[in-house]
Amino acid sequence: MVFRKFILLVLLVGAFSILSGCKEEADSLTIGFIPLKEKEVMLEEYKPIQNYLEENLDFPVNIEIMDNYANLVKGMENESIDIGYFGAFSYIAAESQMPLTPLIVEERKVTGIYYQSFIISRSDSNLKTIDDLKGKKFAFVDSGSTSGFVLPYALFKSRSIEMDNYFSGIHYSGSHVGVLEDLKNSIVDAGAISSIQYEQLLEDGEIREEDYTIIWESPEIPGSPYVARSELDQKLQENFVEAMLTIHQEIPDELSQYDRSLEKFVKIENKDYNSIRNISTILGKEYMVNYFLQDK
């Protein structure tokens, strides 16, 4: 009967959809972060978002602040982290190690998804140009940090500056706030820091604008993306994105408390990160990636 034909079709279609939908099931979500500031502070500040996510996704959300940028990549690799909050460069480095799906990125009120790398010095140290930094001590954030390493490194390269010879000492502070701390405490004479962190510190009143000089500003760099392991449950990824895209409507107060400059989250376009990719290509990608990833 015709009926039988129908059943056959339905079965075929059904089989297909079942097969395609087969990905791993998850029962909890772990989000890993690059160390922007002290762990406890980051955890504290992220709490409202964490709660919001837990409510929305209807299962536990764990937050992990990594010790360094490389560990985030490693955590994604061994699947202990499901979604990572990367810097642009650390994302590109991770991309070369495993299949990743970029989900969302922060859109800022003024600068959109872009920010800058600053090289700053204490105003009282009278260091005003890159040339002034010769023989001085310099602080980077982390060899994986876009604003805290890669762009300054590109700058030095373009000016044919051999970092090890040029500076009297190179220090890796571990976080953006750490760079400022080291600068404040005169452990270093200048350092690289992300414009977002710098401005946040200013806004929070941690620092005073007049105390510091921005020696150099980089061109625009795309902001830090939330990236998921590609194998993570599709539904979970979708739900997460859905939740984050509407967070500015759901909990606007908590969001601005977390980060005043943050407007909302938007979906990532992969091409936005081409500029960073290209820079690392020009600089010598293999070297850069390995340097970063092997660094512990």
Token pair listed for 78: 């061994």
Question: Phi and psi of 61, rounded to 5°?
Answer: -120, 120
Report whether 52 contacts 261 (CB < 8 A). no
Of 47-55, 102-110, 155-163, 256-264, which segment contacts another protein by CB under 8 A?
155-163
The DSSP element (H or E) to which 138 belongs, if any, is: strand 137-140
Binding status of residue 130 toward another protein by CB under 8 A: yes
Please report which helix (H) or strand (E) contains residue 69, including its range: helix 69-77
Rank residues 130 and 262 by Cβ distance to another protein and give the closer one: 130
Q: How many CB atoms within 10 Å of residue 191? A: 30
Angstrom CA distances, 15 to 12, 161, 169, 218, stand at 5, 61, 63, 53
Question: With respect to another protein, which residue has the nearer C-beta, 105 or 255?
Answer: 105
- Strands 262-267 and 100-108, how do they pair? antiparallel
- Residue 160 binds to another protein (criterion: CB under 8 A): yes
Among 10, 12, 98, 282, binds another protein (CB under 8 A): 282
Which span (15-23, 33-41, 252-260, 281-289) binds another protein, by CB under 8 A? 281-289
Residue 2 in contact with another protein, rule: CB under 8 A? yes
Q: Which of 124, 131, 209, 238 binds another protein (CB under 8 A)?
A: 131
Interaction between residue 28 and another protein (CB under 8 A):
no
Bridge partners, 65 (sequence order): 33
Q: Show the binding pattern over residues 195-234: x = contacts another protein (CB under 8 A), - = does not.
A: -----------------------xx---------------
* 159 binds another protein, rule: CB under 8 A: yes
What letter does residue 112 receive in the DSSP assignment?
B
Residue 15, judged by CB atoms within 10 A of its CB (0-12, 13-18, 19+), counts as: exposed
- Listed ranges 3-11, 42-50, 64-72, 78-86: which one lies at the site for another protein (CB under 8 A): 3-11
| Whole-number Cα distances in Å, 91 to 2, 235, 277 | 54, 22, 10
Q: Which of residues 5-24 bind another protein (CB under 8 A)?
A: 5-6, 9
Partners of 30 in beta bridges: 62
Q: How far is the CB of 270 from another protein (least distance, A)?
A: 8
Binding to another protein (CB under 8 A) within 237-276 occurs at: 271, 274-275
Total residues interacting with another protein, rule: CB under 8 A: 26
Angle, helix 274-293 to helix 69-77, in steps of 10 degrees: 90
DSSP, res 50: H
Query: Rounded to the nearest whole angstrom, what is the least distance from the CB of residue 142 to another protein in the complex?
Result: 20
Q: Is 129 in the site for another protein (CB under 8 A)?
A: yes
User: Residue 52 or residue 138: which is nearer to another protein going by CB?
Assistant: 138
Q: Give the Cα separation of 76 and 129 in Å (integer).
A: 39
- Give contact residues for another protein (rule: CB under 8 A): 1-2, 5-6, 9, 129-131, 151, 154-155, 157-160, 218-219, 271, 274-275, 277-279, 281-283
